Amino acid sequence: MMKRKAEKQQSAGPVSAIAARKARQQQAQTVTASKVEVVVEAAAEPPSKRPRRSLEGDQLTGTNGTESKGRQTRSSKNQEVPIALDTTTGRPKRATQANPSETPSHAPEAEEESENEDSDENIVDGPEEMNEDEVASVAGDADGYESPTETPIEMQNFPLSKARLNKNSIVYADESVLCIRIKEKTNLALMGQYDLWVKRGVVSLMGAKLPPSPRVYRVYAPSTHSLPIIKCVSGVDGEAEVQIKSCNSGLSRLRDVSPLYQKIWNGQNTAADKATLKGASKNSRRSFSVLYSSGEDPLKRHLRPLHLDKKWSASMKALSQRQGSLRVLVCGPKASGKSTFSRYLLNHVLSPAPETENGFTNTDGVAFLDLDPGQPEFAPMGQVYLAHLRAPFFGPPFTHPSLDSRDGKILRAHHIGATSPKEDSDHYALATMDLLDQYHSLLAQYPQCPLIVNYPGWIFGQGLEVATWLVKCLGLSDVVYMSEKGPQEVVEPLRFAANEARVPMTILPSQPTDFVSRSSAQLRSMQIQSYFHSSHSTDISNPIWSETPLSRTRPMAVDYAGSKQGILGIMVMGSQISPDMLREVLEGAVVGLVAIESSSAITGASSSGSIKAPVDNSEDESESTADHMDMDSEEPQVKSLDSLSPADSIVRTPEGLPYLFTGSGSCTPLNPKASNCLGLALIRSVDVNSQKIELSTPVPSSHIREAIEQGHSLMLVRGQLDSPNWAVSEEYYAARAAERRYQQVVARAKKGGESAADQTQHNQTLALLRDRIRRASNVPWMKVVEDNSRHQREANARREKSLWKLRKKAYPGSDSEADW
């Protein structure tokens, strides 16, 4: 060995030792790279999950998990690391990993915290074929979508349930109902949608302890978030008995209008489902599935149970001891689990079982002050609000995008017009103080109503100043910070503010999720699309969803000028827009529908009196603003802007739009003390001839009628929310879904034998459906791209950086929605 080494050194001649070593390393890397490439070509099956990565650099991670310079890619926790090159030896190496069989059944797994400040993530998701957890990407799109990597990740058979169903544990079962017994200290994981009824014993679910009662709870368990676990806390003879029933809310049908909703619910029947469906028809399927492990998932997704850290559980129990005096602020870095902790704490405080807790029963509900406009829990993005909740909620935010039932209502909301409060921190602080005043008013009626404040991940710079200010002035009982890793420049000012206010501060470990199937921007898109497709019925407590594209629904027509004017004016926040460009800015935009309670809401107007103009007695009393919004409704009329002073700077655009134009074009935000956001609306068009604005909004007409009857006027506020690209492509995906369904009908007819007349009818119908797809693909701001290769997507992204208006891309031949 020494001789060979000497010979090599001698043969090197005048070459230095450092140069020789570099040459050997490069040669070894070249040989190893070719070997690895052969292995990758053999593994042609695409992965079922892709972890996030950034495309900002020039080096793209290859399908074998190695970069162009042989650096090892990042890997998720408890997961096999892809093959990488050892730059010191030139040989492939594999990182050590714990045995999957030794993995605990409940790993700390919190839902993805979809925080606001992701403007630096300039990437869009969308694969050629969209598995539930698999999303490709394009760099350079303006929507800021995060990009999962293309590195294959080995699937793990992760345990989900400790309980196993058998003849003794199944009380009864049919095609839609499953009644089971769960032993103490065991649990069961389900995926899908279902109604849960606790018949005996006490079970825990997402922080709530549910004792026996006639109450039925709706549970949503999609694969986009960690699965909720039903656990038996205490029972009769050591067992709890629960009934699980299928439900049909319509939420799963949103897959027909957006691929983001595809493959997120239960698939084919699992082994446990088949065991409980014996005797039922062959094609029976419930809206939920029982899973013992992630390996049993028919769609092979990365599923994990939703589990809390022990410190989280202890903190929640300690906070609940405060009972009606609880006033807690939950803050911390983004993606640290703040939303998960707030949701768990909310459910825990709302439903303590008297026999297992301190005897306190919450009868006044819980006030939830949501200060995260990026992805609020119970409202669409761009809002901060105060909600009064009377019952726990089980599901991610897009399953309850609004509140209007006996279980919860939004008492007051303010339209921030952005997904981050940093756009206008002063307006954000004023809105927060107004919501706090509303909470004090709520205490007059419900004196034992606790308060939970959810603060966004905006904790650096000015965000830290706002957070410390809130700690000092909100009158809190506790502060919870969701990261043990600091940073100290954030923790120390918060601790100092808490000490100054004599408020205890608790620091908890963060629980970020390792597997993410939807980015923050995608979750926001899912939530706002769910919001516009949802509705609340007066006779049921749970919302229902419609899969009808917004373009096929009847719009609300609002007069923006003339004697029957239905809106007070139009505002644009955060931008300087010329009056000549207002129409272009409004069409296709999401705006806030704000009720103006007095003239003091608008800067420069008189602080006294109402801004509602006197109603002309010559008009029929049955005519109203809402009458011109919707021809079938009858509400009092709001007419003009004549009562406003000239200082309001309301100008008329060339189209006659009432534009609240001040200074160089930007608008001063409305005063939160005299305004209230009713919800969001999508402006479909501005008709200059009839001087009407066509709106689509899920805001109930009763809320609009109530605001007008109280003498309030309506204002449309255009902010800086994400562009509603999902609305542009809904008709296209709905047309494709209709064609697929009809092709299945034709296929079944051919198997059963069809006549020539039936075949002719089928061909004619298919021709009509394909013509619908063609017409839906030929619309403004959307381009159907046949070539969805990575090279083509990156080229399109670079080209579209120079476009003033974005175009939505849709891909035929795949179930994906790519390149937003």
Tokens at residue 628, please? 């011109």
Tokens at residue 195, please? 């109604």
Q: What is the C-alpha to C-alpha distance for residues 726 and 532, in angstroms, rounded to an integer?
A: 11
Tokens at residue 114, please? 């979809």
Q: Cα(first)–Cα(last) distance of the chain, in Å?
A: 60
Greatest alpha-carbon pair distance for the chain in Å reads 112
**Bridge partner list, 593:** 679, 716
**Bridge partner list, 602:** none
Name the helix (H) or strand (E) containing 695: strand 692-696
In which band, very low, low, confident or very high, does the pLDDT at 739 lie, cut at 50, 70 and 90? very high
pLDDT digits (tens, 9 = 90+) for 190-222: 999 999 999 999 999 998 999 999 999 999 999
The dihedral region occupied by 691, where left means phi > 0, alpha psi between -120 and 50, and beta the remainder, is: left
Nearest partner of 725 among 679, 686, 783, 770, judged by Cα: 783
pLDDT digits (tens, 9 = 90+) for 771-801: 999 999 888 777 787 666 777 777 766 665 5
Higher pLDDT, 139 or 617: 617
Tokens at residue 161, please? 């349930």
CA angle 229-230-231, nearest 5°? 105
Q: Strand 650-652 vs strand 808-810: parallel, antiparallel, or unpaired?
A: unpaired
Output the pLDDT for position 519: 85
Residue 682, classed as helix, strand or coil, is: strand
Q: What is the C-alpha to C-alpha distance for residues 741 and 738, in angstroms, rounded to an integer?
A: 5
Mean pLDDT of the region 37-52: 36
pLDDT digits (tens, 9 = 90+) for 403-456: 988 889 999 999 998 988 888 888 999 999 999 999 999 999 999 899 999 999
E strand map for 350-499: 366-370, 383-389, 404-405, 408-415, 451-454, 478-481
Mean pLDDT of the region 629-652: 47
Highest mean pLDDT among 37-41, 275-279, 665-669: 275-279
In which band, very low, low, confident or very high, does the pLDDT at 147 lie, cut at 50, 70 and 90? very low
Residue boundaries of the structural domains of the chain:
310-467, 548-724, 727-810
pTM (2 d.p.): 0.75
Residue 237, classed as helix, strand or coil, is: coil
The dihedral region occupied by 151, where left means phi > 0, alpha psi between -120 and 50, and beta the remainder, is: beta
pLDDT digits (tens, 9 = 90+) for 325-348: 899 999 998 888 888 999 999 999
Output the pLDDT for position 377: 93
What is the CATH T-level fold of the domain 310-467, as seen in this structure?
A: Rossmann fold (3.40.50)
Output the pLDDT for position 666: 58
Higher pLDDT, 194 or 77: 194
In sequence order, what are the residues at sequence separation of 6 or more whose Cβ sits closer than 8 angstroms to the Cβ of residue 611?
A: 568, 596, 598, 599, 601, 602, 605, 643, 644, 713
- How many residues would you count in the chain? 820
Residue 22, classed as helix, strand or coil, is: helix
Q: What is the C-alpha to C-alpha distance for residues 433 and 454, in angstroms, rounded to an integer?
A: 14
> Is 138's pLDDT higher than 90?
no
Are 152 and 44 in contact by the 8 Å Cβ rule? The answer is no
Q: What is the C-alpha to C-alpha distance for residues 433 and 410, in angstroms, rounded to an integer?
A: 16
- For the chain, give the mean pLDDT: 75
Output the pLDDT for position 31: 45
Q: Give, as one character, the DSSP assignment of residue 653.
A: -
> Is 760's pLDDT higher than 60?
yes
> In the 3-class helix/strand/coil scheme, how is 32-101 assigned residue by residue?
HHHHHHHHHHHCCCCCCCCCEECCCCCCCCCCCCECCCCCECCCCCCCCCCCEECCCCCCEECCCCCCHH
Q: What is the C-alpha to C-alpha distance for residues 49 and 292, in angstroms, rounded to an integer?
A: 20
The answer to whether the bond into 380 is cis (omega within 30° of 0) is: no
CA 737 to chain centre: 23
Mean pLDDT of the region 261-276: 90
Q: What is the C-alpha to C-alpha distance for residues 86 and 1, in angstroms, rounded to an integer?
A: 23
> Is 718's pLDDT higher than 70?
yes
Are 105 and 159 in contact by the 8 Å Cβ rule? The answer is yes
Q: What percent of the chain has pLDDT over 90?
A: 36
Output the pLDDT for position 277: 87
What does R_g of the chain's alpha carbons equal in angstroms? 29
Q: What is the C-alpha to C-alpha distance for residues 661 and 572, in angstroms, rounded to an integer?
A: 8
Q: What is the C-alpha to C-alpha distance for residues 262 and 253, in angstroms, rounded to an integer?
A: 9
Torsion of CA 379, 380, 382, 388, to 10 degrees: 0
Mean pLDDT of the region 757-778: 89
Output the pLDDT for position 701: 87
CA 325 to chain centre: 31
